[in-house]
Amino acid sequence: MNTVHGLSRRKFLLGSGGVVTLALAACVAPVPAGDTAQEAAAPAMPEALEVDLWHGLGGADGKTFTELVGQYMEENDHVTVNEELLTWDIFYQKVPSSVIAGNPPDMIITHEWAIGQWGPRRVLSAADDFYDSMGVPRDDFIPAVFENIHYEGSPLGVLLDTHGSGGYLNVALVEAAGLDPAAPPTNRTEFVEQMSLLTLDSQGRNPTDAGFDPEDIVQYAFHSHFWRRWAMLEGMWQNGGNTINEDGTQATIDSEEVTEALAFWHTMVHEHHLHAVPVGYSMTDSYQNNTLGLAIAGSWWRNFIQDSNLVDTTTFWRVPQYGLVEPVAWMSAHVMGIPTGTDEEGTMGASDLIVWLSNHGLDWARSGQPPARISLQNDQVLQDHWHTGNFGSQFQAIGRTEQQHANITEIQNAYQQEFEAVITNVKTVSEGIAEAQLRVQEVLDRDA
């Protein structure tokens, strides 16, 4: 019963004893980096702090995050962190709603691609203080990604990690198909050839064999997590295309590059049968049950692989190049930020937690997400790790972040719906492309 009619316990505390401690807390010195520094800063904090934290880390990485928060609370026993886990879809609806309601959480973990949308809507407060006075070094982040979280010259939060997609390869299945796990395909022809050996019907036939029964497939060659966005972006980027142009004025979905990418995806699903129709298909279940050769999934799969005892049978592949121009892997970053309208005490607690998490990037890497701090990324143990090391170097080599836009959710929604209609054969490729182009252009024109 924390909140009745909008009055939270935190506000109540603030009204009673909290005021005095707040006044004291104003003299908190900037928190230097490192664990021991936390102890020193603690006495000046209010006696009891609550931090309401919203995030969508509901995948395998959520486990590590909750452990981290637990560790933080142990080290700072005057702070209670109320984690609220939402699906990202609902998260992206509820965060702005809570700012509208004037009752936002104290802290959120959002994505780097969303900053362009939060900025003009004042959903997040400027986070200069973290860098100016709380010891987070500005130059310890990948410059391009750091630049992405700025709005009107100010960073709107602190980067937590770098994450994105990569390939999890079932070694046994690949070897059974007569392929070499150490020799990934390097172009489209090789990709299709190799993958064709990995799809099997119940009689053990490949799609290229005579008598192959596409209604009776028991093992798919590969699957791409969250097909509608990440895989499609990778597909078009690898072709040299994109959804919108750089200044966000022109939709470029009806370009040859994007059309070709979508058509190729359609072929992979419906003609080559390398990839299941991505509706009602569980990639997790299939990979776990050894009925999927290559899972192109998120870096946050590390816990899932470990907990399912799949480490020994899994090897890492960079996202293969099946496009025509260059290899690209989708990447993004989690951003820790403080919403507009958070009260002073909440801001204080959230700030402390953000700095702590930023410093504990190596612990967060246990989830599979390489740290955002370059100094931490260079850690040798991390670099040598089969999972995190490979993901980290992949992002540095071929990682690419999404184009930002003030209405990115709407743009994503538009092309995702149309691409899904194509892949489920509700629309043809040219219909889907034309429609997506029209819808995205309409969003861009509206703000011009």
Partner 1 sequence: MAATSHEQRRVGKPMPRWRKLLPNYLFLVPYFVFFLLFLAGPNVYGFYISLFNWDILLPNKPFLGFGNYQELWLDKLWWLSLRNTVLFAALTVGGNVLLGLFASVLVKQRPPGHQILRFLFYTPVVLSVAVMGVILARVFNTEFGLLNYYVDMVGLPTQKWLGEQRFVIPILSLSTVWWTFGFPFLVFLAGLLNIPEPIYEAARIDGVNRLQSFTHITLPLLKPVTLFIVVTQFIAHFKVFGQMWIMTLGGPGNSSYSVVMYLYDVGWRFFRMGYASSLAFGLAAIILVVTLINFRFLGGRVEY
Partner 2 sequence: MAIETRTHEPTVDYSLPFWKRKTVLHRIDMAVILILLIPVAIATILPLVYMFSQAFTPEDQVRNWPVEYIPREPTLASFQLLVTWPNLPIMRWMLNSFIVSTSVTALVLTINSLTAYAFGRLEFPGRDFLFIFVLTTLMIPGEVTLIPTFVIMRRLEWLDTYNALIWPAGAGVFGIFLLRQFFQSIPRELEDAAIIDGCGKFGTYWRIVLPLSRSALIALGIFTFLGSWNDLFWPLIALNSNEMRTLPVGLSILQHEGYTMQGLGMAAAALTTVPVLILYGIFQRHIIQGVMVTGLTGR
Residues near partner 1 (CB under 8 A) are: 92-93, 96-97, 99-100, 120-123, 277, 279-280, 282, 407, 409-410, 413, 417, 420-427, 435, 438-439, 442, 446
> Which of 412, 408, 439 shows the shortest CA–CA distance to 117?
408
Query: Cα 69 to the chain's mean position, in Å?
Result: 19
Among 21, 38, 76, 98, binds partner 2 (CB under 8 A): 98
Let me know: does 159 contact 366? Beta carbons within 8 Å. no
Q: Which residues pair with 315 in a beta bridge?
A: 169
Q: Interface residues for partner 2 in 18-57 (CB under 8 A)?
A: 52
> Which of 162, 164, 179, 163 shows the shortest CA–CA distance to 222?
179
Angle between helical axes of 429-447 and 256-270 (0-180°, round to 10): 140
Q: Which does 154 bind (CB under 5 to 8 A by kind): partner 2, partner 1, none?
A: none
Given the complex with partner 2, which of 8 and 267 has the nearer CB atom? 8
Least distance from partner 2 to the Cβ atom of residue 85, Å: 5
Q: Which does 435 bind (CB under 5 to 8 A by kind): partner 1, partner 2, none?
A: partner 1
Among 22, 28, 33, 86, binds partner 2 (CB under 8 A): 86
Find the DSSP H helices in 171-255. Answer: 171-176, 188-196, 232-238
- The reply on whether position 100 binds partner 2 by CB under 8 A is yes
- The reply on whether position 102 binds partner 2 by CB under 8 A is yes
Among 32, 58, 135, 341, binds partner 2 (CB under 8 A): 58
Q: Which does 105 bind (CB under 5 to 8 A by kind): partner 2, partner 1, none?
A: partner 2
Residues 6 or more apart in contact with residue 59 via CB below 8 angstroms: 298, 300, 301, 304
Q: Which does 249 bind (CB under 5 to 8 A by kind): partner 2, partner 1, none?
A: none
Least distance from partner 1 to the Cβ atom of residue 341, Å: 12
Least distance from partner 2 to the Cβ atom of residue 52, Å: 8
> Token match 């520094």: residue?
37
Q: Which does 129 bind (CB under 5 to 8 A by kind): partner 1, partner 2, none?
A: none
DSSP 231: I
Let me know: does 355 contact 57? Beta carbons within 8 Å. no
Count other Cβ atoms within 10 Å, centred on residue 22: 14
Let me know: does 395 contact 162? Beta carbons within 8 Å. yes
Least distance from partner 1 to the Cβ atom of residue 189, Å: 30
Q: Which does 206 bind (CB under 5 to 8 A by kind): partner 1, partner 2, none?
A: none
HSE on the CB side for 257, CA within 13 Å? 20
Per this entry, what is the length of the chain? Answer: 448
Given the complex with partner 2, which of 206 and 340 has the nearer CB atom? 340
Q: Interface residues for partner 2 in 149-208 (CB under 8 A)?
A: none
- The reply on whether position 6 binds partner 2 by CB under 8 A is yes
| C-alpha to C-alpha distance for 192 and 324, rounded to whole angstroms | 13
Least distance from partner 1 to the Cβ atom of residue 431, Å: 11
Q: Which does 430 bind (CB under 5 to 8 A by kind): partner 2, partner 1, none?
A: none
Q: Interface residues for partner 2 in 310-349 (CB under 8 A)?
A: none
| C-alpha to C-alpha distance for 370 and 273, rounded to whole angstroms | 33
Given the complex with partner 1, which of 144 and 277 has the nearer CB atom? 277
| C-alpha to C-alpha distance for 386 and 299, rounded to whole angstroms | 12
The C-alpha torsion from 406 through 407 and 408 to 410, rounded to 10°, is 180
User: How is residue 369 written in tokens?
Assistant: 């997400």
Give the footprint of partner 2 on this chain (CB under 8 A): 1-6, 52, 58, 66, 83-87, 89-90, 94, 97-98, 100-103, 105
